Chain A
Amino acid sequence: DAKTTQPPSMDCAEGRAANLPCNHSTISGNEYVYWYRQIHSQGPQYIIHGLKNNETNEMASLIITEDRKSSTLILPHATLRDTAVYYCIVRLNNNAGNMLTFGGGTRLMVKP
């Protein structure tokens, strides 16, 4: 699976949009971009995923660049409960059971 690079930490003011970047310059054509977050002492929670089109759901929006070498997760109105570590993962669609390899993630701190 392709490696991802994320900033180790970010701050965001409550109520503002949080934009979390992820670089995946070696992504291959059939790899999807997934985002998860992990709130302290809990298991990772799925947020959103996409292949090449931008995606939006009730939690967030995912913007993928045209060359697919980077993406941005957008939390439109961050709340204190969005404080967590956010992981960007790219993964193959293979027979190995859909391996997930976690990088360091971005520790997002939402401040009042």
Chain B
Amino acid sequence: IAGITQAPTSQILAAGRRMTLRCTQDMRHNAMYWYRQDLGLGLRLIHYSNTAGTTGKGEVPDGYSVSRANTDDFPLTLASAVPSQTSVYFCASSDQGGHTGELFFGEGSRLTVL
């Protein structure tokens, strides 16, 4: 089934550890995004990429990095995790040349930093 796959689904991590959340899409969408979702704060954009080889900062980029080596993959790295990064992380993609360009979301990665 075509779509977006995120891994891991859930992870508990000690503060100070490095963590990479993986995201792969098979829809050949040009744009990809990482959001975090926290109670009362909604979805906040961390980083985005409009095409392979380019990335940009969103609303809350500090403490996170991304890369876009190819169209399909968009990993999110926490270099040194802190408890405030405990959240649910959603990866999304969109076809910016399509009719509406709506976002398609992965199932989310629940991260707990202790």
Partners in one complex: no
**A interface residues with partner B (beta carbon < 8 Å):** none
**B interface residues with partner A (beta carbon < 8 Å):** none
